Structure 1
Amino acid sequence: MTISRYIAIIALCLYLAIPALGAPMEVEDNLGRTVTIDQPCQKIVFLVENALNTYYSIGDPETVLAIGDNIWKRELKEDFFKAVDPKFDDKVRIGFDAGLVSLETLAAEDPDLVVLWATSPEDENLNAITETLRIPVYAVFITSSGDMYKQVRDMGTISGKTDRASEVEAIMMSYVEEVTSATEGIPDEDRPKVYWMWSDVLGTAGRESGFDDLIYQAGGINVMNYWDNDASYVEHPTVPLETLINLNPDVIYMWYNEKLDPEDVIRGTEFAGWRDINAVKTGRVYEIENPFLFDAFSPRMPMALMHLAKNIQPELFADMSIDERMDGFFGEMYSVHYPGYAAM
């Protein structure tokens, strides 16, 4: 074979390979929208933190181009983000004004993909980015534990690391199985009724929500399943206090609240009207104290499930040590230790 022919064959092979490396792909986001992307994406902007957590367990941190400047409770999370992404502090921050993303800053970065939270296809930021900037947008809206597994698979597609995504999904499922293997056989009538209390107190998790799934997997049943009202199906319904008293939950589980703790609900004068609720009478009011470690809308969903299970079914999980499992979980998911986030 002559050198010129050899070179020609090599050139042809490279030419044929180029479309495969950047071949457009379609992925369906949580709103059912079809998003066309170049796979793998090389410049991604994350305007929603939970998907960023997922991506860091799968994709290359170098492909995270920018992040939103709206990270909640930043002090709980920055050490972790710096551990899994050494260039985290150097990422461009995309600002918001009255809830609206800065299109100018976003356009200047020229990303391949923007990932944001949106509850409907009519979301203002979603439409502004797609219609004004013509940038593909993957919308995140978590309403079930299944949505979290889908997010893992989709981040694998977006990053081009589908094998790692399969590993992450399997890791999550293995930790979940530690709980569900003990709770799945509990009849509904034997499950404590659980009221999930968001920070707006009378705002709760509806039947079609991620926490409805977790409560059931943890051995309880969402008290919204006993409310004969269409609002009970909403992802975040507001419940009249009289209705909540009549529903009479056995357990109240609070999301992290800077202004309230369980003792306020049990004994506080502001909650005097709650005194006849079973959960209050028996002192079964609990709180997610660390919204980072126990973020159910991130790959740490299994840790949130364990937190719920230990309080909803204390006899079943008396010997379960979440602290012991936490280090192993962070190691498998992010290759760092917990606490401290030292590299493994």
Structure 2
Amino acid sequence: MLKRTIFIVIALLLTLLTAGANAAETKNAAPAPYQGLDFASELKDAPRRIIPLFPQSLGLIYLFGEQKNVVGMPFTKVKVSLHKGGFFSQADRAVMLKKDIGYPGMPNIESLIGFKPDLIITPSNFHMKANRFLDDMKIPQLRVHGTFSETHHWLEAVENFGKIVRKEEQAKKYIDYFNSKFDIVRERVKKAAPKSRIKVAHLVKAGNKYIAYGQKSSFVKSFLNEIDCDVMGFDNKNDAETTLSQEEIIKFDPDFVFIESITHATGKIKVELAEGFWPRLSAYRNGRIHFVPVDDESAFLTSWYFNLAAPLGILWTAKTIYPQLFADIDTDAEADRFYIEFLKIDRRKMLQANESVKKSAEK
């Protein structure tokens, strides 16, 4: 009887200890990624002091014309050029008057708190040490997936931000536009019923390497898959960033290769295709290596594969793969209209500015 009692007491103690450990682990664990507004009750009106804490959130700011309400910028991770005709000179000439607030991996907490923001846009899948301070102060935080997402996540973020800044009509207008371009591509490709899916490799140039897949390019992998492309690395799109393996791309042997050559921190990067594996690819031999269009070579926001201008990227990709199927689509004219309609920017001035910058660099 005594032995049985001792056994029961020990079992109960072990159960309590295990439960305590699990509770502590749960308490300290980072929350699962999600999109939404934390401390919404603290936001009484449209925000007037906004901090976009990471570069990918800037698309929301400029889409809704909220730059005048931004008090801090992630300058450490964002290249800004105010050259005549460029994106920032047209959209936000006062941008350099804003203060640097760091970035999710190294936020300037003193500045974050000192600015007394009524809204901070933070990444959904990056749990900062600063979160507990922001939570304790009950500062409203809009969590968004940014480029670490799928297309419907981006449109959800647009809808959420539109509600917050009281510009639901602009959100609807953009979402309808995005979906209409997507529908055109999907319907035509489906109707054409190609014999086999087109094999596509999407690469991001980063320094002296190429990123083949991972969370930072999952957005593009998502829409390429939705327009019925067989995308290299699609099953691994939510993994950590993975550098291109020559063996993998040679084995996959894509029909088309689309390369992004601009980053938010450095602007456009020179790509020479000098690596030895390129001539071994069908895409290279057939002249099907394409660089994703960028309208201002110093501003990553103008890349057609970035969330903001993705409708243009979807049309351009479809026309590049199926030129006859989309012969009636004038992507240049479409892009001109897009920038005027949604950003109040003259795209032609950006393109001219690129040429001026190049000529100045050559002197």
**TM-score normalised over the length of structure 1:** 0.74
1:320 maps to which of 322, 329, 332: 329
1:80 maps to which of 71, 78, 87: 87
User: In structure 1, what residue type is equivalent to 2:38?
Assistant: V
Partner SS for 1:42? coil
2:310 maps to which of 296, 301, 313: 301
User: In structure 1, what residue type is equivalent to 2:115?
Assistant: E
Partner SS for 1:190? coil
Aligned-pair identity in percent equals 19
Q: Contact (CA 8 Å) 2:54, 2:104: kept in 1 or not?
A: no
CA distance 1:260–1:65, change in 2 (3 Å): closer
CA distance 1:60–1:202, change in 2 (3 Å): closer
1:36 aligns with 2:42: no
Q: C-alpha deviations, 1:59-78, integer Å up to 9, x for none?
A: 54443232221353423898
**Equivalent position of 1:280 in the other structure:** 284
**Equivalent position of 1:205 in the other structure:** 213
Partner SS for 1:115? strand
**Equivalent position of 1:237 in the other structure:** 242
Partner SS for 2:212? coil
Count of residue correspondences: 301
- In the alignment, the residues of structure 2 paired with residue 246 and residue 111 of structure 1 have an alpha-carbon distance, to the nearest angstrom, of 51
2:55 maps to which of 41, 49, 60: 49
Q: Contact (CA 8 Å) 2:197, 2:228: kept in 1 or not?
A: yes
1:115 maps to which of 114, 118, 121: 121
- In the alignment, the residues of structure 1 paired with residue 76 and residue 270 of structure 2 have an alpha-carbon distance, to the nearest angstrom, of 23
Q: Contact (CA 8 Å) 1:180, 1:218: kept in 2 or not?
A: yes
**Equivalent position of 1:17 in the other structure:** none
1:337 aligns with 2:352: no
Q: Contact (CA 8 Å) 2:39, 2:138: kept in 1 or not?
A: no
**Equivalent position of 1:164 in the other structure:** 170
User: Offset at 1:295?
Assistant: 4.2
- In the alignment, the residues of structure 2 paired with residue 272 and residue 243 of structure 1 have an alpha-carbon distance, to the nearest angstrom, of 14
- In the alignment, the residues of structure 2 paired with residue 138 and residue 340 of structure 1 have an alpha-carbon distance, to the nearest angstrom, of 33
User: Offset at 1:110?
Assistant: 0.4
Q: Contact (CA 8 Å) 2:293, 2:304: kept in 1 or not?
A: no
Partner SS for 1:104? helix
User: Offset at 1:240?
Assistant: 3.0
Q: Contact (CA 8 Å) 1:199, 1:256: kept in 2 or not?
A: yes
**Equivalent position of 1:252 in the other structure:** 257
User: In structure 1, what residue type is equivalent to 2:310?
Assistant: M
- In the alignment, the residues of structure 1 paired with residue 241 and residue 193 of structure 2 have an alpha-carbon distance, to the nearest angstrom, of 26
Partner SS for 2:213? coil
Alignment of 1:121-270 (within 5 A): 122-125=127-130, 127=131, 129-131=133-135, 134-141=138-145, 142=147, 143-185=149-191, 187=193, 190-200=196-206, 201-205=209-213, 209-218=218-227, 220-225=229-234, 231=236, 233-234=238-239, 236-256=241-261, 258=268, 260-261=270-271, 264-265=272-273, 268=274
1:58 aligns with 2:67: no
CA distance 1:193–1:74, change in 2 (3 Å): same
User: Offset at 1:195?
Assistant: 0.8
- In the alignment, the residues of structure 1 paired with residue 279 and residue 323 of structure 2 have an alpha-carbon distance, to the nearest angstrom, of 23
User: Offset at 1:250?
Assistant: 1.4
Return 5+ residue gaps in structure 1 as ranges. Answer: 1-28
User: Offset at 1:196?
Assistant: 0.9
User: In structure 2, what residue type is equivalent to 1:109?
Assistant: F
Instruction: Provide the aligned C-alpha RMSD in A.
Output: 3.3
- In the alignment, the residues of structure 2 paired with residue 43 and residue 333 of structure 1 have an alpha-carbon distance, to the nearest angstrom, of 22
Q: Contact (CA 8 Å) 1:172, 1:299: kept in 2 or not?
A: no
User: In structure 2, what residue type is equivalent to 1:171?
Assistant: Y
Q: C-alpha deviations, 1:148-204, integer Å up to 9, x for none?
A: 211210111220222221122122223333433322445575221111111144522
